[in-house]
Amino acid sequence: MLIDFHTHTSASDGALAPRALLDRAAARGVAMLAITDHDTVAGYLDAQAHGLAVHPALQLVPGVEFSCRWSGTTVHIVGLGVDIGHPALRAGLDFLAAARRERGEKIAARLAARGFPGALAGALAEAGSSQLGRPHFAAWLVARGHVRDAGEAFDRLLGQGKTGDVQCCWPELAEAVGWIRDSGGIAVIAHPLKYRFTGMKLRRLVAAFAAAGGEAIEIICGRQQPQQAGQLRRLAGECGLAVSAGSDFHRDGPYNAPLGVDSAALAGLPAVWERLQRR
Ligand code: MN
Ligand code: MN
Ligand code: MN
């Protein structure tokens, strides 16, 4: 069975419209799909309206990916099976919408100081109805001819440690986990190895996450080495966490994972989809 508990649509920074993502997943035979856009459930809502009628065999799981702060860095927490009408989730989404706006203003101010004025209006126009994020600033920089492509935009101006890497505004880890828990969802640490923490720091993150009510970690996320799944499986086992898996699909590309993960890779482990299936 193919499952996928981490995907993005054009409601955040994915290339495919929600319905197109759903069509793609259905065509690939994905049985359970969570749409986990950054800080919004708009993509899920759109896909749900389409999917019930067109792809009745595909179980669509409501989800979200929250950015939050922990120990001086940004980490991502996926929420699965959240009640999207719950006031706790709404509070979280509202908080993040304001945070993204505030962050966008700071990124734009920094870009202006580097000789690129007008970035906020430009990025908001690129974002349209999507959540404002750095890819929209990158698209604006490309459209203005300031950089050749999005890769150069991130390398020079927006990537980690660059002028547009503003981390000020995110909620604390415990807060984000709380919104997910309070709205009936399962909190999952997204792509645990992407933060490049030492083993000891990763264990500290897992401990803080579990103390806040977090329940699972992704052991398969996008393209990764086989030994990484093993490492994460051991970590989950040692810390008593359930496991999740997803593609983190944003768009097609040579280094990107396609939609869908074989659930056999998680056989015998306490996996999130078993609980989501029963709802
Ligand atoms: Mn993204
Ligand atoms: Mn992420
Ligand atoms: Mn993601």
Tens-place pLDDT, residues 177-230: 999 999 999 999 999 999 999 999 999 999 999 999 999 999 999 888 889 999
Contact 164, 110 (CB under 8 A): yes
Give SS3 for 54. helix
**Ligand 3 centroid from CA 234, angstroms:** 22
Distance separating alpha carbons of residues 62 and 7, to the nearest angstrom:
11
**Ligand 3 centroid from CA 128, angstroms:** 20
Contact 158, 139 (CB under 8 A): no
**Ligand 3 centroid from CA 20, angstroms:** 17
Tens-place pLDDT, residues 38-68: 999 999 999 998 887 889 889 999 999 999 9
**Ligand 1 centroid from CA 137, angstroms:** 13
**Ligand 3 centroid from CA 36, angstroms:** 7
Distance separating alpha carbons of residues 100 and 92, to the nearest angstrom:
12
**Ligand 2 centroid from CA 190, angstroms:** 6
**Ligand 2 centroid from CA 76, angstroms:** 5
Distance separating alpha carbons of residues 171 and 148, to the nearest angstrom:
33
For 241, the token pair is 């966490």
> Which pLDDT band, with edges at 50, 70 and 90, does 278 fall under?
low
Average pLDDT in the chain: 93
Tens-place pLDDT, residues 105-158: 999 999 999 999 999 999 999 988 888 889 999 999 999 999 999 999 999 999
**Ligand 3 centroid from CA 15, angstroms:** 13
Q: Which helix H or strand E contains 173, and what residues bound it? A: helix 173-182
